[in-house]
Structure 1
Amino acid sequence: MASSPFHGIFQSLGISQGTTLPTSSIAESTFTQKTASGQVAADIYEQGEYYIIKIPLAGVRLTDLDIEVAETTITIRGCRKQSDDVSADRYLVQECFWGEFSRSITLPCSVDPKKIKASFNKECILKILIPKEEHSVKVVRINEG
């Protein structure tokens, strides 16, 4: 198999060939995100009249999840509990995060917390549906004088 012409560039950056690199999009300028220790990955997209946030949370129980909404910010908090009691010196490689995590996402508009819906399926995917703000048109009467 032929090597990619970018192999040397990737290698110098410490990126293995075949790694998916981050992409930029309009969503990055619309949604801002606060990162924290133990942050979880999220997909955020629009579908019809909703903004949708999907977060895979393998190893997390529904009872260990909380969602908080404050004006334009939605925060997902939880805890991934490690079932095995293994001391740190026994690990050869430890890539999985265990413990508390948090993810705050600033939405492009304020939302009504009562209209937000969330589900957590058997594949441990948290799906949050956030209705887009309804834009109404108001006619303003101009008075003389």
Structure 2
Amino acid sequence: MKKEKKSFLNRFSSSQETEQQMMPEAQPMSMPVYAEDEEAQMNVDQYQDNEQMMQQNDWNMQEGSEEIPADDDAEGQLTIDVYQTETEIVIKSTIAGVKPEDLDVSISNDMITIKGERKNEEVVDDNGYYYRECYWGSFSRSVVLPMDVLPEKIDATLKNGILTIRLPKADVTKTKKIQVRGF
């Protein structure tokens, strides 16, 4: 006796029938059945649609880059995390590829400013890129501090591409007596 090989769909639908026999209240599930050539044609059509969509997206990206001129003077903006502990405010930022000597961190009143430049040492023809997502050039970010800090005790470190700035909180609970002068 020759065994007939069942397709996945046949095996799947026969296993459903077994489950349906066990649970009579379940509704039978209808599945579309296609002839092999119809299914193959659907796959080809879907592939062609996807291919056209990808080409359209590429064209739109190229068009968009031509319509908007690049501003060479524009600065990038750093992404940062700012949080506080009991004794300090901490600012962290990913600055991979930047040397410490290319960073400038300054504080003025209640605002800290981080400036720098990420230099691309490698020259690549624009047509050689598949993706171009990394930012190269100057960047800056200013943050208004939520409280007073001790500027003379600020510590900034760069380790494994992570800039960490620790700003000790000023002790605002201390009371300072002020002498009043008379004229």
The bucket for the TM-score relative to the shorter chain is: 0.5 to 0.7
Q: 1:59 to 1:67 in 2, by over 3 A?
A: same
Aligned-partner Cα distance in 1 for 2:104–2:123: 25
Residue 138 of structure 1 and its aligned partner are, at CA, apart by 5.8
State which structure, 1 or 2, has the greater radius of gyration over its C-alpha atoms.
2
Large movers: runs of 4+ above 4 Å: none
User: 1:83 corresponds to which letter in structure 2?
Assistant: E
Residue 128 in 1 paired to residue 165 in 2?
A: yes
The equivalent residue for 2:157 is: 119
Residue 46 in 1 paired to residue 89 in 2?
A: no
Residue 87 of structure 1 and its aligned partner are, at CA, apart by 2.7
Q: 1:139 to 1:76 in 2, by over 3 A?
A: closer
The equivalent residue for 2:50 is: none
Residue 97 in 1 paired to residue 135 in 2?
A: yes
Q: Secondary structure at the match of 2:152?
A: helix
Residue of structure 2 aligned with 1:75, choices 99, 104, 113: 113
Q: Higher strand share goes to which structure?
A: 1
TM-score by length of 2: 0.52
Q: Is the 8 A contact 1:71 1:111 kept in 2?
A: no
TM-score by length of 1: 0.65
Aligned-partner Cα distance in 2 for 1:93–1:111: 42
Q: Is the 8 A contact 1:67 1:75 kept in 2?
A: yes
Q: Provide the identity percentage.
A: 40
Number of aligned residue pairs: give it.
Answer: 104
The equivalent residue for 1:22 is: none
User: 1:131 corresponds to which letter in structure 2?
Assistant: P
Residue 109 of structure 1 and its aligned partner are, at CA, apart by 2.6
Residue segments in structure 2 that go unaligned for 5+ positions in a row: 1-73, 179-183
Residue segments in structure 1 that go unaligned for 5+ positions in a row: 1-35, 141-145
Aligned-partner Cα distance in 2 for 1:65–1:138: 36
Higher relative contact order (CA 8 A, sep 6+): 1
RMSD over equivalenced CA pairs, Å = 2.0
The equivalent residue for 1:32 is: none
